[in-house]
Amino acid sequence: MVCGATPATQVTLRSVVAMAVFGVTSTFRGVYCRDCGLAMFRKRMSATLLTGWWGILHFFINLGVVFGNLGERARLMRLGPPVRNPGAGFLNPGRPVFLRAGFIVSAAVLLIGGSFLLISATTPPVPFPAEDQTYIGECAQHSGTEWTTVDCLGPHDGKVVSLSHDRGGCPSQDRAAKLPDGNYTCIDTSQ
């Protein structure tokens, strides 16, 4: 109860502060009229939109908090206009959420995240040069850390089964050998 106006209702607003793997969710409960409740909503919502996205787990917790706060706002907006004693102090709702930093930051996060997903979904994988392709099917023998291609009819330690742009890109059971151009051959040592 801030200003003593009626009608008023109990609202629960939350905000998240997320940092990588850590995060804190704060809960704010109070009985507010429409004006004071809207002021609290704008404050907590702007805070969580600014600080809630920066964790792995808390990104999703924040998503729930954002929708929870919107639900509380909807309940507040169904209240009639507040009737209060003249002179009673009440909270100033101030600027709407979409004019505050948290909203702008969230819009940027969605825009950058969305375009990144779109680009990675529509960009074809970088092809391997033809000279790398010729390694596939070749047999290889290693001495120390060096791999050399050898005749499959002779003794060999493995067979090149695929190519990768990075060392970690080969299937886990295969050995990766670096090519002069920086790509890797994936060598199946059971063949």
Question: Is 33 in contact with 7 (CB distance < 8 Å)?
Answer: yes
Q: How far is CA 88 from CA 4, 83, 169, in A?
A: 8, 10, 67
CA dist 68 and 66 (Å) reads: 5
Question: Which is it for the CA torsion 105, 110, 114, 116, positive or negative?
Answer: positive
Question: Residue 81 or residue 155: which is nearer to Zn ion going by CB?
Answer: 81
Among 28, 90, 150, 164, indicate the residue that binds Zn ion (CB under 5 A): 90
Question: Residue 23 or residue 82: which is nearer to Zn ion going by CB?
Answer: 82
Range 136-165, binding Zn ion (CB under 5 A): none
Residue 76 binds Zn ion, judged by CB under 5 A = no
Question: Residue 2 or residue 47: which is nearer to Zn ion going by CB?
Answer: 2
Half-sphere exposure of 3 (CA within 13 A, CB side): 23
Give me the 16-45 binding string for Zn ion, x by CB under 5 A, dash otherwise: -----------------x--x---------
Residue 93 binds Zn ion, judged by CB under 5 A = no
Rule CB under 5 A: which residues touch Zn ion?
2-3, 5, 33, 36, 90
